[in-house]
Chain A
Amino acid sequence: MVVQAVVELISYRSVGATLDIESVSHSFDIDGVELPVLDDISLSVEPGEFVALLGPSGCGKSTLLRLIAGLDRPSSGSLREDDIRIKGPRPSRVVVFQDPTLFPWRSVWDNVALGLEAQGILKSQRQRVDAALDLVGLTAFRNAYPHQLSGGMAQRVALARALVNDPKVLVLDEPLGKLDSLTRITMQAEISALWQRKRFTTLLVTHDAEEALFLANRVIVLSDRPARIKADIAVERPYPRHRGDPYLSDLRKQILGLLGLDATW
């Protein structure tokens, strides 16, 4: 039954959405002082593209993701998903945050079921939860509570919780930032495989140039706060990629140069 559910989940055509970001600027109001974080960002993402947003820490990458997710509204400019203006969060645009933020009072299965439950379709679609858990390889932990999981497992559950909604846009906010390097490498490969299979539009915020180059079609390099787009680099390499690829190494050097880190190379 689970196998059948997986087949159903995979064969479900989840073609990604187009994202249009048009001259978006955003600023925070901190004790009456205006702090600009995004400065005139324009970006257009094709359906099924994997775009990495790379920039120094604190430059406003995560703010841009919150705008795309619909959790905040921009100070000016507009964001559109499939030509429909983004006015609030929707389950077609799911975010995986840096912290797994699993609900500690819910078992793994109930955490993954969250989206379907919130949309009121859990009763008829329970098999989708089983399939998503199977996809991240955590079927055996369905009844465990979050405090019993390791960091990598918790982040896998968070991924399953996002994927169960069949998102058109998957927004990844440094999802691997807090994992140890070995788990990180494994999960990069898993995310890449998932994306190749389902082709949802994916946006990944990261400050790891190697991760961006391993996963993305396009790498957008952002400047210091307020963030502006410094470079838009196409990564023309087939998947699966190899970390030692000299083409990727060259790009990495170029990107680190853009971030002002040539000296460390």
Chain B
Amino acid sequence: MSTYSLSDGIATDAARSGSRSRDLLDRLWHAGPGIAAAIAWVAFGLSCLLWEDLGDWSRTHSLGIGAFVIAALAFFGTLSADFLGKAGTALRQRAPWLLVLGLLLTLWEVATAKFAWLPLPFFPPPQAIIEVYTDDLPKLLDSVFASVKLQLGGYVIGAAVGFLTGVSIGWSRSVGYWVHPVLRFIGPLPATAWLPIAFFAFPSSWSASTFLIALATAFPVTVLTWSGVASVSNAYYDVARTLGAGPSFLVLKVAIPAALPHVFVGLFMGLGSSFAVLVVAEMIGVKAGLGWYLQWAQGWAAYANMYAALIVMSLLCSGAITLLFKVRDRLLVWQKGVVKW
């Protein structure tokens, strides 16, 4: 009797401790990337503070402290992820990225500011870029504002013109007869090829750039809207007509909604090509905006400013595309299986 109970006790004890250690392993497995990320950011902070800078940068110390703060947030956030709800799961999902980012920053810091493995003026350290954001902020913000204004104006005009042209070509044979050859002749020409003409034909460099951005946007939007309207199944028109629909209903409530998925592809492509025109136009003609800032920074060999502006530019472009996709997802909820951005 007693032996049985003894062995039973041992067995269950072993099982319990086994499950407990498995539990711990499980937790470590989940928290592992977060803790590793914290360590990587500590390493980044240490790499900032341990050695003397080779150049003269004023933000090295603050950057190091900032890295420790992020490391602490990652560490405690990971450990208490279960109690943080959505933020906790988000942190857990992004922990591997945080880890890689910390490692890359450490490498960048060491390779530039500390040992200059990469030639110095051309490859500024992270603290130099932070310095740009803090010390040159007003100029950078002005540039952002100018770029957004120019881009938005040109894009909206181009998208509206492209959409209307596309619907008209797709709907009306006689409009198609006149517009189609013009579109074929002018459309494929890169909008930047118009730069020299545009800058003397328009009263200001700003209006010339707006025109070019609109042109770059309008071509893909026109072609895709047109193909969208042209590919609407005749069955939809038949149904609407037997139900008493007139021509305006057929255009507004049948052709256009059916073509919208195509239109958004056109808007997306137009956004991409208009970014290219924006930057070139700002570099060559307009004396404002991020493209101009890049050019100006290069002229002064202010490489940190160039990288800083590039990062901002990338965030803006990506943000614009994200916004476009959000609008599309809202308008096209009825579609299934669409690409996520």
Contacts and interface: CB of A to CB of B under 8 A. Distances in A.
Interface in A140-181: 145-147, 161, 165
Given A97-B235, A105-B260, A89 B242 contact: yes
A97 B335 CA distance: 23
A16 interface: no
Interface string B218-255: 00000000000000010110111111111001000110
Interface centre among A105, A117, A119, A147 (most CB of B within 10 A): A105
Contact of A118 (B244, B260, B332, B333): B244
A89 B235 CA distance: 14
A94 interface: yes
Nearest to A146: B334
16 contacts: A69-B242, A71-B242, A91-B243, A94-B243, A97-B238, A101-B233, A101-B238, A103-B236, A103-B239, A103-B254, A106-B257, A114-B243, A118-B253, A119-B244, A146-B334, A147-B336
Contacts of A119: 243-244
B258 interface: yes
B318 to A, nearest CB: 28
Contacts of A161: 239, 243
Contact of B258 (A89, A105, A146, A165): A105
Contact of A115 (B233, B235, B244): B244
Interface in B234-285: 235-236, 238-246, 249, 253-254, 257-258, 260
Nearest to A171: B242
A101 B244 contact: no
Contacts of B334: 104-107, 145-147
A90 B241 CA distance: 8
A101 B254 CA distance: 12
Given A89-B241, A91-B243, A101 B236 contact: yes
B235 A90 contact: no
Interface in A112-126: 114-115, 117-119
A101 B235 contact: yes
B242 A95 contact: yes
A26 interface: no
Interface in A232-248: none
A90 B239 contact: no
Interface of B: 233, 235-236, 238-246, 249, 253-254, 257-258, 260, 332-336
B238 A95 contact: yes
A248 to B, nearest CB: 32
A117 B253 contact: yes
B238 A118 contact: no
A99 B242 contact: no
A159 to B, nearest CB: 13
A65 B242 CA distance: 12
A93 interface: yes
Contacts of A165: 243-244
A97 B241 CA distance: 13
Cβ-closest 7 pairs across A and B: A115-B243, A91-B244, A118-B245, A89-B241, A119-B244, A89-B242, A105-B257
A115 to B, nearest CB: 4
A71 B234 CA distance: 11
Nearest to A100: B239
A88 B237 CA distance: 13
Given A91-B244, A118-B253, A145-B334, 18 more contacts: A69-B242, A89-B241, A89-B244, A90-B244, A91-B243, A93-B242, A94-B242, A95-B242, A101-B235, A103-B254, A105-B334, A106-B334, A114-B239, A114-B245, A117-B253, A118-B246, A147-B336, A165-B244
B330 to A, nearest CB: 13
A117 B246 CA distance: 11
Contacts of B336: 147
Contacts of B241: 71, 88-89
Contacts of A71: 238, 241-242
Interface centre among B239, B253, B333 (most CB of A within 10 A): B239
Nearest to A66: B238
Given A147-B334, A147-B336, A97 B239 contact: yes
A251 B82 CA distance: 74
Interface centre among B236, B241, B332 (most CB of A within 10 A): B241
A93 B245 CA distance: 13
Contacts of B236: 101, 103
A69 B235 CA distance: 13
Nearest to A94: B242
A124 to B, nearest CB: 16
A147 B334 CA distance: 8
A123 to B, nearest CB: 15
B248 to A, nearest CB: 10
Contacts of B249: 117-118
Contacts of B240: 114, 118
